[in-house]
Amino acid sequence: MPKPFFITTAIDYTNGAPHIGHAYEKVLGDVLARYHRLKGEEVFLMTGVDQHGQKVQQSAEKEGVAPQVFVDGITAKFLALWEKLDVRYDAWAATTDATHKDCVRAILQKLWDDKDPATGASRWIYKKTERGWYSVRQEQFLTDKERGADGEFGPEWGQVEERDEENFYFRLKEHRDWLRDFIKARSEAGSPFVFPDFRVSELLNAVEKMEGDLCISRPASRLKWGIPFPESFGAGFVTYVWFDALVNYISFAGYYPSLPENPKFNALWPALHVIGKDILIPAHGVYWPIMLKALGFADEQMPTLLVHGWWNIAGAKMSKSTGNIVDPNALADKYGAEALRYYLMTDIATGRDADFSEERLVTRYNADLANSLGNLLNRTLSMTAKYRAGKLTKVISDGIVGPDKPEEIEAAIKAEGKIVMTVTSPDFSAESRNHVEHLYQPNMDRHIVNIGIEAGMRFVTLCNQAIDILQPWRVAKDPKHTKVLDSTLYDLAESLRIIAILISPVLPKAARGIFAQLNWDKDEHGNERPFRLADAVWGGLPDGHVLGQPIPLFPRIEKPAE
Ligand code: MSP
């Protein structure tokens, strides 16, 4: 049996409420999951929350509540948002879960116990004392990056003193050659470790410059809110948050280091990790593959990273201090979840950054959904109701959809004093194949959702143009053109059936609505008809099929007066 398509997202920090960047990533994960289901694949989508760490500890302290109470409150907000945005996942990774904590500790133990026979010391982890600049107020060590232009640490750090600290380190730099060769080999084999391509060179550059190892512990005296190290390491150490968080991808998928077979896990792994560009280097691009290698994962068992860009506000980063955080909850309440999903999936190129704009959300919704798609649906259903009492006659077009003799209709229209038709309408079946096979599918397969959806929307535009050119309301007046009208109405309804399938990963409710209005929502046994890409082939609606009534699916959003 083929493995499911296993897709994960980053797990969000629970030190504040979700924002539009979190929403984008989870909707992207959900859309890819729905697309692969559309292709008939088994899919497993996992998302969750990163509940430990200094930032969470500090936010909880500020509110004067216990960290677990604090993270439970924030976690509830994330859960409610995914419900509202129709993000459907198969596993929820919340890192304060006992199974995850056990797994992290067991992994540390396994790496600690993996001894080099020559030295008797662990091959992966060592203990070391480092001296550094420590901010008493922020409870963290500072690096040169934190120094101001004058070379001093600013007042925000409070008292800064030199301190010695003993910690555990995970070896990274000795794996640099392996990591570089692995990344190159994956690209050469045509299955790059990182998508999109330009991120591969970015990562390779970082790997070349890699120095130092990763400090994976914090003394419990300054970080309490984390997973305690196993006792065999000595008392008083807590796991650094990244070493804890990255493990979620395997711990919640059923991995446990001492299990000989890990059958549940092996049936799923490896995953496609959907992450933002800020956490590629070093966390996912360096720490994570080396951690997996340390656990004995072979090169063929390494995951793939899909790295998306960021939503900015007028070119600047969203941040609490600037007060420009965009709240996805408020947008979904105001415009509906599907309007938000559509905007997030179409107004950014997968991998690149974009500027968030509420005005563009409204403009795109009105232009693409209310006008273009909504009108096509409405016109198709209304005309079929008016001219054919809703009933379709299946006329398969053979290259040219038009009157028996295209010049006849042209002449007829000319006779009415208005030349509206200079070309015949498209070959719908060929166009639909073209859009599905050459535009939609290849782009969706490469996770370029914006272009995939654009293919669907281009097909909508084409149908609308065909209506404008053919003017079925004129054709309907002339009994000579019965076949033209029949084929046009069939072509439009059939196109809508296919368009609904194509947009269903992004707009599952609207797609269902289109199916319902086409009276195609249930199969012959009365069961809900699933969306399947295999059904996006021309000719699915049978001869004599009766369409439903038009109901506005995408009411226009009225822009507030200037
Ligand atoms: N907890 C870590 C991830 C651990 S994964 C093992 C973290 N959390 S986060 O809450 O800061 O970010 C979660 C995800 O949201 C990241 O992939 C990040 O890139 C993404 N985004 C955060 N802000 C974003 C935008 N403004 N735009 C798009 N995505 C952004 O990092």
Q: Rounded to the nearest whole angstrom, what is the distance from the C-alpha of residue 37 to the centroid of ligand 1?
A: 25
- Protein residue with least CA distance to atom 29, ligand 1: 21
Closest residue by Cα to residue 8 from 56, 39, 49, 40: 49
pLDDT of residue 418: 39
Query: 366 Cβ partners below 8 Å, 6+ apart?
Result: 556, 557
Q: Rounded to the nearest whole angstrom, what is the distance from the C-alpha of residue 503 to the centroid of ligand 1?
A: 26
Query: Rounded to the nearest 5 degrees, what angle is found at the Cα of 329, between the Cα atoms of 327 and 332?
Result: 115
Q: H/E element holding 508?
A: helix 508-517
Query: CA Rg, the chain, in Å?
Result: 29
Q: Which of 310, 313, 350, 352 to mutate to test the pocket of ligand 1 (most atoms within 8 A of CB)?
A: 310
Atom of ligand 1 nearest to the CA of 248: 6
- pTM here is 0.94
Burial call 61-71: b when 16+ CB within 10 Å, e when fewer: eeeeeebeebb
In whole angstroms, give the CA distance from residue 439 to residue 434: 7
- Protein residue with least CA distance to atom 8, ligand 1: 12
Q: Which of 225, 250, 275, 320 to mutate to test the pocket of ligand 1 (most atoms within 8 A of CB)?
A: 275
Atom of ligand 1 nearest to the CA of 13: 10
pLDDT of residue 377: 98
pLDDT of residue 378: 98
Q: Rounded to the nearest whole angstrom, what is the distance from the C-alpha of residue 276 to the centroid of ligand 1?
A: 6
In whole angstroms, give the CA distance from residue 217 to residue 227: 10
- Protein residue with least CA distance to atom 24, ligand 1: 21
Q: In the structure encoding, which two tokens stand for residue 100, read together?
A: 């995850």
Contact indicator for 548, 517 with CB cutoff of 8 Å: yes
Q: Which of 9, 13, 252, 279 to mutate to test the pocket of ligand 1 (most atoms within 8 A of CB)?
A: 279
Q: Rounded to the nearest whole angstrom, what is the distance from the C-alpha of residue 203 to the centroid of ligand 1?
A: 18
pLDDT of residue 561: 55
Contact indicator for 233, 168 with CB cutoff of 8 Å: yes
pLDDT of residue 448: 96
Atom of ligand 1 nearest to the CA of 249: 6
- Ligand 1: lining residues by beta carbon, under 6 Å: 10-13, 21-22, 24-25, 50, 245-246, 248, 275-276, 278-279, 310-311, 318
pLDDT of residue 478: 84
Provide the β-strand partners of residue 269: none
Query: 84 Cβ partners below 8 Å, 6+ apart?
Result: 329, 332, 337
Q: Rounded to the nearest whole angstrom, what is the distance from the C-alpha of residue 277 to the centroid of ligand 1?
A: 9
- Protein residue with least CA distance to atom 9, ligand 1: 12
Contact indicator for 26, 87 with CB cutoff of 8 Å: yes
- Protein residue with least CA distance to atom 20, ligand 1: 276
Q: Rounded to the nearest whole angstrom, what is the distance from the C-alpha of residue 38 to the centroid of ligand 1?
A: 27
In tens digits, the chain (562 residues) has pLDDT values of 789 999 999 999 999 999 999 999 999 999 999 999 999 999 999 999 999 998 899 999 999 999 999 999 999 999 999 999 999 999 999 999 999 999 999 999 999 999 999 999 999 999 999 999 998 887 788 988 899 999 999 998 999 999 999 999 999 999 999 999 999 999 999 999 999 999 999 999 999 999 899 999 999 998 999 999 999 999 999 999 999 999 999 999 999 998 878 899 999 999 999 999 999 999 999 999 999 999 999 999 999 999 999 999 999 999 888 889 999 999 999 999 999 999 999 999 999 999 999 999 999 999 999 999 999 999 999 999 999 999 999 976 543 344 445 555 556 545 544 333 333 446 888 889 999 999 999 999 999 999 999 999 999 999 998 898 888 998 899 888 888 899 899 999 999 999 999 999 999 999 999 999 999 999 999 999 999 999 999 999 999 999 999 999 999 998 765 5
